[in-house]
Chain A
Amino acid sequence: MGGTGVRSIPSGGSGADDPQVTHVDTGAVWAPLVIGRPTDPFPARGPSAGPYRPDMIADGWSSDHFAVRCASVRGASHRYLGEPRQDECAVVPHPSGAVIAVVADGVSGAPLSHLGATMVCRTVVDYLSRVLDDGTELDWPDLMRCAGWSLAEYAARQLGADEPDPQEAERLLATTVVVAYVRPDGPGRALGWLARVGDSTAWTLRGTRWTPLFPAVGPHSELLPDSVYALPRVPTAIVPVEVELAVGDVLVLGTDGFADPLGDGTGTVGELFATNLAHPPALPGLAWLLDFSWETHDDDRTVLAVWPAVAATPTIEP
């Protein structure tokens, strides 16, 4: 890693045990990690268009069965141009003990795709919560169709249109999404089901080994794909991936802004995140990790991680 030698999250300042310390050099403690050639310094511009959207978010919680963390950070390109973070995430506990996790990535060519990403995350959480409340069988294609339709209705509301217009919704709000429903399966174990539209993706992490849960997009192509699948367009076949999480496994969801620099997980980024996701980090820690500086990787980045709890009572609180 570009000369820093830093491989773990800052402790939060030396004053943690010393009530007399009133100053922590946050600029030094939380300076972004540099990987490879850093991005040249520049002032990060606020998004010029409303509604308000924060530069980064960090979230997490613990339950009897899981600990979760997620972070979403605006990419250097959007900061430079004064454009909003188009990534979004949501992670919600269900009373059944399950976890509902969603990561979305608004398509850069759609001018309001950041709102589309948020709309889809909220819709997925709402839909899955209802299914789990009702104890009915989860219909993944229907979930994705409803997520897609939410964009059509949202666009109609925003535009004051009488009828939803899916084409217009696609033009304005298109977004990828990856969804995980994870339920406990004994101490330290869990079962998960995941589905996606587009190139947002997921892995299981065991030690330093990253195992992708979805095939690479265009794996045999010499070039990057010319286009990306995105809601409100839903592939004709939505087949969920099932995953068993054993003791020590971490389920990780992410957007391509993380997947690209991660690659197959055997490089610097893979090692960095494997080391620091061995256990749930402090809440701001994941956001800080994710905000590493690497010149050509300037997209928004989002990571959401789920750890099955080994003990019945969680020992790590956000």
Chain B
Amino acid sequence: MSETFGRVLPVYLVADESRSMSPVVDELNAGLNSLHDALLREPMAAAKVRFSVLGFSNDIIVHVALADLRTEGPLPQLSVRDGTSYGAAFSVLLDRIPADVRALKREGFSVHRPAVFFLSDGQPTDPGQWEEPYRRLVDRERTPTAPNIIACGIGNARAATILEVATRPEFAFVATPGVEVGLAIAEFCAALTKSVIKSGQALGGGDAELVVERPDNFRMALDVV
């Protein structure tokens, strides 16, 4: 590749479409529309995002795949079906994400580590089965394009499960008991929008060390800033 066409961030919204989501699926669809509107108002941020929407129950429906939302029509509406198979969701991500990254690179983009926003209102209906595809998905040795997963639990989702799904503890969010689920979804969508629009660069680490003592030869430059 002679030159890159810039940097893009693949974002995946993985939303629970189990029956129990029925009362709040309208809020979720409204939140998605708000996200779309916000990105249309921020074309510079939108240019750097490729957005996918996956709904999961016992199976997965890919509603939107790697879309540039500036040129996307109205987003498809999420609906509800039977089951809450986390395993189905993670298995599909395991297939799609490496292929999506390859596709973006073929187009000439440099690709940031993908971000998955995972939203569920219940416990997985496939306990003991979802963990293996999940582990493969987030293992950066086995899956070099392993995503960061931001997990949000509402309704009956247990905090311990959401913590297991999030790739870092600070990426796990559980709606406060007593908060209306529709409001929690609205807050999730607002946080998603903010994250997507303002995805910053992380600070360093690795084998670099902080300078913690004044070096002998240090002298403060006089004509500072």
Contacts and interface: CB of A to CB of B under 8 A. Distances in A.
B221 A123 contact: yes
Given A150-B221, A298-B44, A224 B112 contact: yes
A87 to B, nearest CB: 14
Nearest to B101: A222
A260 B110 CA distance: 9
A160 to B, nearest CB: 16
Contacts of B202: 109, 226-228
A267 B3 CA distance: 6
A166 B211 contact: yes
Contacts of A296: 5-8, 47-48, 109
A8 interface: no
A110 B221 CA distance: 22
A227 B201 contact: yes
Contacts of A139: 217
Nearest to B146: A223
Nearest to B208: A233
B85 interface: no
A150 B6 contact: no
A102 to B, nearest CB: 12
Contacts of B209: 233-236
What is the predominant secondary structure among interface residues of chain B facing chain A? loop
Interface stretch (A13-21, A58-66, A141-149, A182-190): A141-149
A227 B205 contact: yes
Interface string A221-257: 1111011111111111000000000000000000000
B7 A149 contact: no
Interface in B48-105: 48, 98, 101-102, 105
A108 B208 CA distance: 19
Interface stretch (A26-34, A125-133, A280-288, A307-315): A125-133
Given A145-B211, A264-B2, A223 B112 contact: yes
Contact of B201 (A107, A115, A149): A107
A71 to B, nearest CB: 19
Interface string A103-139: 0000111100001001100110111001000000001
Nearest to B206: A229
B223 interface: yes
Contacts of A148: 210-211
Interface string B180-216: 0000000000000000000011111111111110110
Contacts of A154: 220, 224-225
A263 B6 CA distance: 10
A307 B215 CA distance: 34
Contacts of B4: 260-261, 263
A166 B218 CA distance: 15
B142 interface: no
Which among B47, B110, B217 has the greatest number of chain A C-beta atoms within 10 A? B217
Interface string A158-170: 0000001011001
B217 A146 contact: yes
Contact of A223 (B6, B144, B205): B144
A122 B225 contact: yes
B169 interface: no
A194 interface: no
Contacts of B113: 223-224, 226
B103 to A, nearest CB: 12
A276 interface: no
The 8 closest A-B pairs by CB, nearest first: A296-B6, A267-B3, A263-B3, A267-B2, A148-B211, A233-B208, A122-B221, A266-B2
Interface of A: 36, 39-40, 42, 51, 76-77, 80, 107-110, 115, 118-119, 122-123, 125-127, 130, 139, 142, 145-146, 148-150, 152-154, 164, 166-167, 170-171, 174, 197-198, 221-224, 226-236, 260-270, 294-298
Interface of B: 1-8, 43-44, 47-48, 98, 101-102, 105, 109-113, 144-145, 200-212, 214-215, 217-225
